[in-house]
Amino acid sequence: MADAVRQMFGRIAGRYDLVNRVLSAHRDVRWRDIALAMLPDGDGDALDLACGTFDLALAAIAQGKAARVHGCDFCAPMLVAGAGKRRGMAVTAAVGDAMRLPYADGSFDLALVAYGWRNFDDPAASARELARVLRPGGRLLILEFFRPRRLWPRLFYATFGRAVFPAVGRVLAGDAAAYHYLRESVRRFLDVSAADATLAQAGFAERRWRSFFGGVSNAVAAIRA
């Protein structure tokens, strides 16, 4: 990520959870449900990439999941903002770029990316890194926005993007540059065909796509060869 983007996220880190609720229209709740269901049982290891302030890790702990959750984010203040929540909990945090993950080969059974794929500078390089740190047969779960085909979700998304988010986004972001970045980010849709080809080339043998919320959100579960 560019330094300017890193600094921008650093400035909004303390308000990130609230911003994320608005940015995702509260879909992060559904994301946690999907991700928690896929966490490995027993002594498995899961990587939450672009983890923000560790909502997933805390949800896993609260629900008694035995998997060890490791959070990695490109912005150190994000991890600091979540440190209070994680106090006294066995959660590992690391600063790292999606194209150069600070982990050894085959470190994880599951990797999770929520609403961050569209912001990767080089999705192909990030996909190869995710394949590298996963064990053979390991799973990758991505949740992203994609362009709805049906009329009503398109109208909902257009209304949200043009009215709801601008109305509160400036206040929540507290920074003009941050607001403009987030506004443009939420307007970017995942190209499903391109993402599928990228994952296949990175070494994920099986990709299963599923749409949620009338086609506004899309999830892909990929299995490393």
* Mean confidence (pLDDT) of the chain: 80
pLDDT of residue 88: 55
| pLDDT of 1 above 60 | no
pLDDT of residue 132: 97
Which of the four CATH numbers 3.40.50.150, 3.40.50.620, 3.30.360.10, 3.40.640.10 does domain 3-224 have? Answer: 3.40.50.150
How many C-beta neighbours within 10 Å does residue 44 have? 17
Q: Give DSSP secondary structure letters for 40-93.
A: PSTT-EEEEET-TTTHHHHHHHHTT--SEEEEEES-HHHHHHTHHHHTTS--EE
Q: Higher-confidence residue: 43 or 71?
A: 71
Q: What is the rounded average pLDDT of the residues 45-71?
A: 78
Percent of the chain with pLDDT over 70: 81
| pLDDT of 86 above 70 | no
Q: What is the rounded average pLDDT of the residues 95-107?
A: 93
pLDDT of residue 43: 74
pLDDT of residue 133: 97
**Structural contact between residues 174 and 11, judged by C-beta atoms closer than 8 angstroms:** yes
pLDDT tens for each residue of 163-174: 776 777 677 767
pLDDT band of residue 68 (cuts 50, 70, 90) is confident
| pLDDT of 205 above 90 | yes
Q: What is the rounded average pLDDT of the residues 61-68?
A: 73
Residue 24 DSSP one-character state: T
Its pTM stands at 0.82
pLDDT of residue 12: 75
- For residue 70, report the phi and psi dihedrals to the nearest 5 degrees: -115, 125
- For residue 63, report the phi and psi dihedrals to the nearest 5 degrees: -90, 5
| pLDDT of 104 above 90 | yes
Ordered strands of the 108-114 beta sheet: 92-95, 68-73, 45-49, 108-114, 134-145, 217-224, 204-212
Q: Higher-confidence residue: 53 or 193?
A: 193
Give the contacts of 34 (CB within 8 A, at least 6 positions apart): 141, 143, 219
Token pair 């990316």 in the structure block, residue: 113
Q: What is the rounded average pLDDT of the residues 115-137?
A: 91
pLDDT band of residue 139 (cuts 50, 70, 90) is very high
pLDDT of residue 87: 60
